[in-house]
Amino acid sequence: MKTEQQYFEEAISIQQYMDEMSTLREESFAIYDKFIVSNDEFIEQLKNSDVHILAITEDWCGDAMLNNPIVRKVAEAAGLEMRATLRDADTVLIDQYLTNGGRAIPIYLVLNGAGEVVGKWGPRAPELQQFVMDARAGLPDKEDPSFEEAQKAMYTNMRQKFIDDSKYWTYVYEDFKKRVSAIL
């Protein structure tokens, strides 16, 4: 079985991943282009650490659309190498990092200089989890004929909020910062 470091070495850069996205590319770049990372204590901590980041992701994922640009900006501000591997290309890796028994993405693995996983973050900040749960609670029952259309509208609405409202970006940044700072 491959190590996380081997997955990292075989992965593509987050820049190449985002450049080659076929789904939600414009939406991801809308966030990437607007999100600004201030050079705070966290960025300084990262600059002084010997870590790199592996994102387990897919371009159709709304959470990845929101999280990848933010974590990429953090990595760039700190001068860290960040690469992306596709969840569905090899499920052995994601199956080691299940969320509530599911293959939820994106997952970010923080690896030290020796290639060992020293931290994990994802798939979403607690405030975003609550937002999604509240939105899902408003959906009709799955057996209801209007369920599919209502769910599609819910996801469209969520994606637009993630692009337009910077508070969602702050939720991602602050939770990522909290989790990763604890391991540095």
CA distances for 122 relative to 1, 80, 101, 148, 166, angstroms: 23, 18, 14, 26, 19
The predicted pLDDT at position 39 comes to 84
Residue 146 has pLDDT above 90, yes or no: yes
H-helix or E-strand spanning residue 13:
strand 12-13
Q: Which fold has domain 4-124+166-181?
A: Glutaredoxin (3.40.30)
Angle at 100 between CA 130 and CA 82, to 5 degrees: 80
Model confidence over 12-50: pLDDT tens digits?
999 999 999 999 999 999 999 999 998 899 999 999 999
One-letter identity of residue 9? E
User: Nearest to residue 75, comparing CAs of 104, 107, 30, 110?
Assistant: 110
Cα-based distances in Å from 61 to 6, 15, 110: 24, 17, 21
pLDDT tens digit sequence for 101-118: 999 999 999 999 999 999
Confidence (pLDDT) at 56 = 98
CA dihedral over 53, 56, 60, 66, signed as positive or negative: negative
Tokens read off for 110: 């923080």
Please spell the DSSP secondary structure of 32-87, one letter per residue.
HHH------HHHHHHHTS-EEEEEEE-TT-HHHHHHHHHHHHHHHHHT--EEEEEG
Instruction: Supply the pLDDT for residue 83.
Output: 98
* Residue among 171, 142, 173, 135 nearest 156 (CA): 135
pLDDT digits (tens, 9 = 90+) for 149-169: 999 999 999 999 999 999 999
pLDDT, residue 159, reads 96
What pLDDT does residue 14 have? Answer: 98
Q: Is the pLDDT of residue 8 over 90?
A: yes
Run of H or E including 148: helix 147-164
Tokens of 104: 């939820």
pTM for this model (two decimals): 0.96
The pLDDT score that the predictor gives to residue 34 is: 98
Provide the mean pLDDT of the chain.
97
